[in-house]
Chains A and B, each alone.
Chain A
Amino acid sequence: MTSTPYLSLSIWVPIIAGLLVLALGSGNRAPLARALALAGSIAGFLVTIPLYTGFDPALATMQFSEYASWIPAFHVNYHLGIDGISLWFVLLNSFMTILVVLAGWEVIEDRPAQYLAAFLIMSGLINGVFASLDAILFYVFFEAMLIPMFIIIGVWGGPRRVYAALKFFLYTLLGSLLMLAAFIYMFLKAGNSFEILGFHALQMPLHVQELIFVALFMSFAVKVPMWPVHTWLPDAHVEAPTGGSVILAAITLKIGAYGFLRFNLPIAPDAAHALAPVMITLSLIAVVYIGLVALVQSDMKKLVAYSSISHMGFVTLGFFVFNPLGIEGGLLQMISHGFVSGAMFLCIGVLYDRMHSRRIADYGGVANTMPKFAAFFMLFAMANAGLPGTSGFIGEFLVTLGALQANFWYAFLAATTLIFGAAYTLWMYKRVVFGDIANASVRALTDIGMREFAFLAILAACVLAMGIYPKPFTEPMHASVNKLIQQTMLKKI
């Protein structure tokens, strides 16, 4: 334990930076707030880089562990650690935070310090969620994260922001409270310990496992979100400011899927097998039905929001076919979706900042006035549709293969997303970007500036890199995924 506590740093650097922004940047010192926030987010990302470089891909155990007693009266410990599953999300989250800070640079004029601080604090809390190995610590981060998000949506969001923010909060809270009850139950079963890895080893009869599974499912399914508890997402996305949408889509949705891998599958494997048909059905409904719903949206953000739900259906499908292809495919899909959906929301944000409209019908012929932007948007739209060579393809392909091993019809239905995904994304792209210039305000558009170019280019590089050479992304996962598969195959009754 003499090594540098990188995980703690990845949690606390952004939080402290956020508090500094709040303390120093309020009032009319917005430039200082922005500079501080950017520095804080970059520092927050830099401290996570050693997590990747120092990560040993051969090990399936938790690495970079930190352990300290926190609340002995409750047997709660400050226990952190990451494996090949959580590693990527810590990195992704810290990385996206920089982009979010950049995206809100000049756009947010109302209390920018509070806005930026909320994102930084949330970034640290989200890292805490992914790195926690103690259930209460996990819960604390999981819940605390809701507060900044609630405020981000509610203060800087669109016209129906208050409704969306409340809906988001209450949906999520409903799930997490049941999860808390399950945690306490397992705490008592495990002999007064909140260690998540200890929960993995608990022997429980099937009906108990099923109840625990359902309680955890309620929490994570809302986060993912799975059909039919997805309805908060389109509202939250549409009303959230661009940065909020990016973090919601790129990171917080991943927490739900991560929760399935960290909690549901290893803690209640028998229940997971017993309930897998239900989970697969829900996932496929999300993939197919929500894909169709996305097709008819007239609001760009709503379209991408529904597309997110559909993509996340793919992820959960991959998890519940219980083979390495499915789970790794799901994980890759999550990372890719982080980049792609983040980029899509940023693109829509670029348009919205200029036109103050998200309606597809208000656009047309944007390519004529914003050629550079159109090129980037094209790439991301293709990635969203799962074109080979982009990151979107890898995950979808692996999940489909994994599903094929389980059942032909799962794979068949899942593969329809390649058609629907292409249909809704490219149709939207066509209506917005191609064609003649639709109206005077489109004619007046200016192409992206340096700042916008920077964040779109970085994301484009990520999307292509992951699509062309995914090995660096998959390598650290293998050991952990194999261990997880073993755990799910174990009978614990």
Chain B
Amino acid sequence: MTSYLSLLAPAAPEIVLLALVSIVLVADLFIDDSRRMTTYFLSQLTLLITLLVLVAAPHGGPVYTFHNMYVDDTLGRALKGLVLVAVSLVFAYSKTYAEQRDMLKGELFTLMLFSTLGMMVLISANHFLTLYLGLELLALCQYALVAMQRDSARASEAAMKYFVLGALASGLLLYGMSMIYGATGGQLGLQAVAQALAAPGVDHGLAAVGTVFIVAGLAFKLGVVPFHMWIPDVYEGAPTVMTLFVGTAPKIAGVAFFVRMLGEGLAPLSHDWQQMLVIMAVLSMALGNITAIAQTNIKRMLAYSTISHMGFVLLGILAASQQGYAAATYYSVAYTLMGLAAFGMILLLSRAGFEAENLDDFKGLNRRSPWFAFVMLLVMISMAGIPPSVGFFAKLSVLRAALDAGFTWLVVVAVLLSLVGAFYYLRVIKLMYMDEPVDQAPIEGDLDLRVLLSLNGLAVLLFGVLPQPLLALFDHAIVQSLR
């Protein structure tokens, strides 16, 4: 019995989360619409308890469990902790907006919590099947979330696109996995696959084709060119709270997935996937940044901006070094922080019957609220990669990793494209500071939203002035996980 418990212990946070979500699910049945806030508090409590379990659990080096299908390591813990914090912020930012739009249902919270569970499984997965399990749990909940406003044609269309393309990506991924399975003589565990692929006599051609499918599937999930088509439509079409959710925390999980899959399982094939990643990174940075300039809808603009940021993440991964993986994970965390603040700002400016979706809605924000204009300024300079902000150090670390791996020209292309990117972020600053407001309504928003959003914005600055703790954390975590 004790041995069985010790087997479960590394997955304790996930087990606790699952148990608590189930309780929330049932409890919500007995709560009517007028007291829906109870569900909100229960959900926040769920996240808090899970976080406490995560922090409190004893921890040494990586612990493998369930026949090496699952791993509990520093990388996983750090990312899971950040995902939990991010989701908690999503809840806090969303509740008023959702309430005003009649979306404050129990499903909102339970679906988000289940997909959080998916993210955690994904982050800790050490086996192709666990990876797939986590990914599908995450994705299915997200399809439903995007479609939640079922009377909205736009949202339904977005959900449909998301679902069809997402299912296709999952198919590609599975197909690729099956080829690797064949090439390695029946291995699915990440370390076992790596060993088998490194051994002499492996069918390299088959493994390479499998890698192509896997990378394509991964790229779909992360939304990098040429597998990015769903991103702008989903970001724009989904209700903003869903965009906030889809566009932030899952990126952390997605990058963890990428890092574990390529950095650990398919590491022996790095020469094959590096070339693919180079092309995808350049295309993502170029298309994302250039197309974003033409957007007038801020959600769509941020969607293209995400594509370009994911291009930068790939820049770190394609370095295929520990430094590169650490840089990529750091970038994903930095991006999540910025994304939360940016979408949170849209939620703050929206109110009952009004969606602050257009860039013009940001006009003259400095006159309406100098403080939140400043917060948005911080977020925008961070996205543009201008110091002192977390975005700058994220860019610096991926550029350093890519340069160290010998991709000099790629780094030059990347910095030139980030100049293109700077333009549309600056345009937001321009709208806020240099134009007259069209919308004169005072900035409302609950106290907790305002406080958290302010802290979120300041964190972007703080981690830009003192980036050491996070950087060191990921350097350490990657060294430990991908020996």
- Which residues of A are at the interface with B, using a C-beta cutoff of 8 A? 26, 70-74, 114, 136, 139-140, 143-144, 146-147, 150-151, 154-155, 161-162, 165-166, 169-170, 173-174, 177-178, 180-181, 184-185, 187-188
Contact = CB atoms under 8 A, between A and B. Distances in A.
Interface string B396-414: 1101100110001001100
Given A140-B387, A185-B408, A73 B370 contact: no
Contact of A187 (B392, B400, B415, B468): B400
A177 B416 contact: yes
B408 A74 contact: no
A169 B426 contact: yes
Interface string B107-127: 000000000000000000000
A181 B468 CA distance: 21
Contacts of A185: 403, 408
B472 interface: yes
9 contacts: A26-B370, A73-B475, A144-B387, A150-B429, A155-B366, A180-B396, A184-B399, A185-B408, A188-B403
B338 to A, nearest CB: 16
A174 B419 contact: yes
Interface in B353-400: 366, 370, 377, 381, 386-388, 392-393, 396-397, 399-400
Given A170-B419, A177-B416, A184 B430 contact: no
A177 B412 CA distance: 9
B430 A165 contact: yes
Contact of B433 (A151, A166, A178): A151
Contacts of B429: 150-151
A143 B396 contact: no
Nearest to A177: B415
Contact of A165 (B397, B404, B434): B434
A173 B415 CA distance: 10
Nearest to A137: B387
Contact of A155 (B411, B419, B433): B433
A228 to B, nearest CB: 18
B179 interface: no
A232 B271 CA distance: 44
A150 B426 contact: yes
A70 B399 CA distance: 19
A231 B460 CA distance: 34
B433 A154 contact: yes
8 interchain residue pairs of minimum CB distance: A73-B471, A177-B415, A140-B387, A154-B434, A71-B468, A73-B472, A143-B386, A184-B403
B467 interface: yes
Contacts of A146: 386
Nearest to B431: A162
Contacts of B426: 150, 166, 169-170
B423 interface: yes
Nearest to B380: A147
Given A177-B418, A178-B415, A184-B403, A72 B386 contact: no
Contact of B399 (A71, A151, A161, A181): A181
B381 A181 contact: no
Interface in B408-458: 408, 411-412, 415-416, 418-419, 422-423, 426-427, 429-430, 433-434
Given A72-B472, A166-B427, A181-B412, 12 more contacts: A71-B393, A74-B393, A74-B400, A140-B392, A147-B377, A166-B423, A177-B419, A181-B399, A184-B396, A185-B408, A188-B400, A188-B403
A154 B370 contact: no
Contacts of B393: 71, 74
Given A136-B396, A146-B386, A162 B434 contact: yes
A74 B397 CA distance: 8
A161 B408 CA distance: 37
B386 A144 contact: yes
A314 B416 CA distance: 30
A161 B386 contact: no
Given A71-B467, A114-B370, A169 B422 contact: yes
A144 B467 CA distance: 16
A108 B171 CA distance: 63
B468 A184 contact: no
A258 to B, nearest CB: 19
A74 B471 contact: yes
A71 B400 contact: no
A57 to B, nearest CB: 34
B471 A173 contact: no
A13 B467 CA distance: 23
A184 B400 CA distance: 6
A181 B388 contact: no
Contacts of B396: 74, 136, 180, 184
A169 B430 CA distance: 12
Nearest to B377: A147
A173 B422 contact: yes
B79 to A, nearest CB: 17
A73 B469 CA distance: 9
Given A74-B397, A139-B387, A181-B403, A173 B434 contact: no
B415 A180 contact: yes
Nearest to B411: A181
Contacts of B430: 154, 162, 165-166
Contacts of B370: 26, 114
Nearest to B400: A184
Nearest to B381: A147
Contacts of A26: 370
Interface string B131-154: 000000000000000000000000
Contacts of A187: 400
Contacts of B471: 71, 73-74
Given A144-B388, A166-B430, A178 B422 contact: no
Nearest to B416: A177
Contacts of B400: 74, 184, 187-188
Nearest to B417: A177
A155 B415 contact: no
B20 to A, nearest CB: 35
B117 to A, nearest CB: 31
Contacts of B468: 70-73
Contacts of B377: 147
A143 B396 CA distance: 13
A140 B411 CA distance: 19
B422 A170 contact: yes
A70 B471 CA distance: 12
A143 B411 contact: no
